Chain A
């Protein structure tokens, strides 16, 4: 069953007096539980595609269904709800909340979902243990290494049991060893939690972790190579 279905997706950005087409008619389906990589050079439209799938940006044209729901027709409140309940995000620059410690960062989405503090803390602790940050739960992001921060981001993305986790170049700011460990972790979490993972990269070394690779260039999908 496809968790994401995109048809003829176009996204334009205004730049001064001109319009820059970032996506020029993308068709894409993603199966539930997939571990998929979107690859392409800088400016090819990877992030835009992830943003549209993640409901943090809107399509200029076309249809985007996430979990069977046509998101292009929804208002901001509903779309925000979908982001909170169905989607997890992992950012290249980690994007942790600096004033919260590790456990507070992880439990943050659960508190937005109005779960009780005890319930949120229990689930966050479980995730912190799974990503190997048991000993650092009281540390603030500034006190962690890049790899540790990305682990926190992964735990935060997974804490709500989302249908999809979107990771935009999750290893770009990490050294190769740490990057590999992060990808191993994502893959493990994909296997444990059965969550669909879609991550963008332009690093060829990362591709070996993907079960499916989608190549994008100049806003168009070039082909869909078989899963690794």
Chain B
């Protein structure tokens, strides 16, 4: 208490000097609070208003046959089940979208036609967020659900201007759907929105169920999943790793009945890989009774074991019919195939297993998922075939930076994938350029603040040196009276501590006043990428308690550390010398 009292009183002793230094620190803190809040605001814009809608914090992408334009997963419920229950996931959106060219009134523009789930129950906060990010200027979100209107859509004001359309006008779009069929659709503008996110300006929102129908999805299918998560900077990579584990594929199989010339049998159909390496291995493993492996390796190749062929009364070149129960449709699926080869002996995966070349297998499997899809394969042990039979999908390896991510997708485009690929990625991989902008802005802020604080700290050191010089005799007196060195040192450090603490408090107030003032100024920045840093046409600040407390603690720590050395020197003075007495 004594030291605190002394320190506080000494602070008031050099009012002008301490006021000047305190003002400098306060201004520094204010700048730090403002810049930090601005930086947080940018992070918030990036993560919660841009990345969230553009790629999601974490995305699970499904590309059938590795085709980047064919984003489809045939079992929506299963995909949602796999991501369910993770505590950091706040929202999962189905990414149903299509790049296309839209024709308005005499003008055309590129747009992204996006399916939005307007019926999804949002929390009040979520609702506010959406309304903040996509502010409707005209119309209402519910209008996109109106069945009496032909494909009602909400268009951004900028895009509407580009297409020369207004409310209730018609847009025509032509695109190639999920399965390569050309489609032409008329859209009706029922809403105009304003959004600050420049990346979302080409977006045209259509009700999700209609979008899925137009794009060729069936109700039980989905596009990619975009996940909004809590504390994305901290949790994104770990969540992606967890989801990656959950999406490990099992063996794809179809429990079917097969009908040949001589009867009907229950079988399991497995796909086999038809790439070069797999062909070599399979060739070494099988001895044929009839037919040829060359035919079996073709797109529609089919291999039967000799016993089954005998029971069915078929041989190579004969037709068989497969029939199985489907997962999402009531009627069974039937498909006819020509037997390419009959295996007499060797390492074969099972007496009632039909092997099908993976292009044909995946066509059948994905086209109509069997009832048992998603269950574990319960057939004979696959042994040497475990790496050769077709998995449910191909899970792409996790990457942790953009370079690896790009490489991964280059490999995909070079590979002739037969299966659906699943990729679990975070925004750090998919949109690192945008995130780099945030990083650069933070770096600039921190550099400016560091320079500022270096100057201020010089002030602290100088002031303390002057103070110590002026109070040398006083130091001698208190030391002579019996104050320990450590107490003298602490007294000066406490002075710096209190000066910094009070100045920081003033700086925080000043910072808030400055932010309040700046947010009152409207800024017009149309069609400028920097406009994405604005919210509702104004600068956006997001001060956080932890951020401000961290800044103040940092400043106090730096000031105290800076004060430490002159304070220690003061404490080390010999009392006799400090008192200035000789002889």
Contacts and interface: CB of A to CB of B under 8 A. Distances in A.
Given A56-B575, A57-B576, A97-B478, A80 B581 contact: no
Given A100-B9, A109-B482, A56 B583 contact: no
Interface residues of A, number: 37
B481 A168 contact: no
A117 B5 CA distance: 13
A81 interface: yes
Contacts of A189: none
Given A97-B477, A100-B9, A77 B484 contact: yes
A83 interface: yes
A91 B13 CA distance: 23
A91 B578 CA distance: 13
Contact of B1 (A56, A76, A117, A156): A117
B583 A44 contact: yes
Given A80-B479, A99-B6, A47 B484 contact: no
A112 B2 contact: yes
B485 A80 contact: yes
Contacts of A100: 6, 9
Given A44-B583, A57-B576, A99-B10, A85 B474 contact: no
A89 B582 contact: no
A98 interface: yes
B576 A51 contact: yes
A91 B580 CA distance: 12
Q: Majority SS of interface residues in chain B?
A: helix
Contact of B483 (A13, A80, A117): A80
Interface in A96-153: 97-100, 108-109, 111-113, 117
B473 A95 contact: yes
Contacts of B479: 56, 80, 83
Given A22-B582, A56-B579, A76-B485, A83 B6 contact: no
Interface string A25-48: 000000000000000001111111
A85 B484 CA distance: 12
Contacts of A77: 484-485
B582 A83 contact: no
Contact of A91 (B2, B483, B574, B579): B579
A80 B484 contact: yes
Given A80-B485, A117-B1, A48 B582 contact: yes
* Residue of A13, A108, A109 most packed against chain B (CB within 10 A): A108
Nearest to A100: B9
Contacts of A56: 476, 479-480, 574-576, 579
Contacts of B438: none
Contacts of B575: 56-57
Contact of A85 (B9, B482, B487, B581): B482
A83 B477 contact: no
Nearest to B474: A97
Interface string B1-30: 110001001101100000000000000000
Contacts of B1: 111, 117
Nearest to A108: B481
Interface string B185-209: 0000000000000000000000000
> Secondary structure of the A side of the interface?
mixed
Interface residues of B, number: 27
Nearest to B13: A99
Most chain B CB within 10 A, of A44, A56, A113, is at A56
Contact of A13 (B2, B10, B582): B582
B474 A47 contact: no
Contacts of A91: 477, 579
A84 interface: yes
Contact of A111 (B2, B480, B583): B2
Which of A42, A51, A54 counts the most chain B CB atoms within 10 A? Answer: A51
Contacts of A45: 583
A213 B479 CA distance: 28
Contacts of A168: 581
A89 B581 contact: no
A96 B482 CA distance: 14
A156 B483 CA distance: 14
Given A97-B474, A99-B13, A112 B574 contact: no
A64 to B, nearest CB: 14
A84 B10 contact: no
Given A51-B576, A91-B477, A99-B13, A83 B583 contact: no
Nearest to A13: B582
A196 B576 CA distance: 21
Nearest to A104: B5
Nearest to B478: A97
Nearest to A80: B484
Given A89-B480, A95-B477, A51 B2 contact: no
B9 A99 contact: yes
A76 B487 CA distance: 13
Nearest to A160: B482
B535 to A, nearest CB: 50
A144 B401 CA distance: 74
Interface in B52-106: none
Contacts of A44: 583
A111 B487 CA distance: 12
A51 B481 contact: no
B583 A95 contact: no
Contacts of B2: 108, 111-112
A156 B481 contact: yes
A69 to B, nearest CB: 15
A84 B582 contact: no
B477 A109 contact: no
Contacts of B582: 13, 22, 47-48
A96 to B, nearest CB: 8
Nearest to B581: A47
Contacts of B574: 56-57
Contact of A22 (B6, B473, B583): B583
Which of B473, B474, B481, B581 has the most C-beta atoms of chain A within 10 angstroms of its own C-beta?
B481
B397 to A, nearest CB: 63
> When A and B form their complex, which 9 residue pairs have the shortest distance between CB atoms, in order from nearest?
A84-B482, A99-B9, A57-B576, A56-B575, A95-B477, A111-B2, A43-B583, A83-B482, A47-B581
30 contacts: A13-B582, A13-B583, A42-B583, A48-B582, A48-B583, A51-B581, A56-B476, A56-B479, A56-B480, A56-B574, A56-B575, A80-B482, A80-B483, A80-B485, A81-B482, A84-B482, A85-B482, A89-B480, A89-B481, A95-B473, A95-B579, A97-B474, A99-B10, A99-B12, A100-B6, A108-B2, A108-B481, A112-B482, A117-B1, A156-B481
Given A97-B478, A111-B2, A168-B581, 14 more contacts: A42-B583, A47-B583, A51-B581, A54-B480, A56-B579, A80-B479, A84-B482, A89-B480, A89-B481, A95-B476, A98-B13, A99-B6, A99-B13, A117-B1
